[in-house]
């Protein structure tokens, strides 16, 4: 019973902290929001000429954000390898069980 009460109290504290953080976020679509800064304008205005890409999305992903994209791909590849190695059945264990 104590663990349930403690779990509920901790959950309520975490919810309150998260709601306080959300309260301070800028409104969606607001012009002066930090999301709408000079970087996105630069990508749109000069992205094609600086990168030589055929479209803005390819230029941003492959030139401006190449290192970030490489790290994300490495994380995904590593997680797939780990999942395969964990899920793989060990043939030696199976042969020992059959004997």
Put residue 36 in one of left, alpha, beta given phi > 0 → left and psi -120 to 50 → alpha. beta
- Residues 6 or more apart in contact with residue 6 via CB below 8 angstroms: none
pLDDT-above-70 percentage for the chain: 90
Instruction: Classify residue 59 by burial, with Cβ atoms within 10 Å: 0-12, 13-18, 19+.
Output: buried
pLDDT over threshold 90, residue 4 = yes
Which pLDDT tens digit goes with each residue over 39-57? 888 888 888 888 888 888 8
Q: Which string of b and e fits 8-46 if b means at least 16 CB within 10 Å?
A: eeeeeeeeeeeeeeeeeeeeeeeeeeeeeeeeeeebeee
| 27: confidence class by pLDDT, cuts 50, 70, 90 | confident
**Residue 33: predicted pLDDT:** 79
Query: pTM, whole model, 2 decimals?
Result: 0.43
**Residue 99: predicted pLDDT:** 59
How much is the average pLDDT of 29-48?
81
């Amino acid at each position: 019973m104590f663990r349930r009460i403690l779990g509920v109290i901790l959950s309520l504290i975490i919810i309150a902290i998260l709601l306080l953080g959300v309260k301070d976020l800028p409104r969606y679509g607001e012009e002066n929001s930090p999301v709408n800064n000079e970087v996105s304008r630069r990508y749109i205005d000069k992205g094609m000429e600086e990168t030589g890409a055929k479209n803005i999305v390819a230029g941003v992903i492959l030139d401006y954000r190449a290192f970030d994209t490489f790290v994300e791909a490495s994380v995904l590849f590593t997680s797939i390898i780990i999942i395969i190695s964990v899920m793989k059945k060990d043939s030696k264990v199976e042969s020992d069980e059959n004997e």
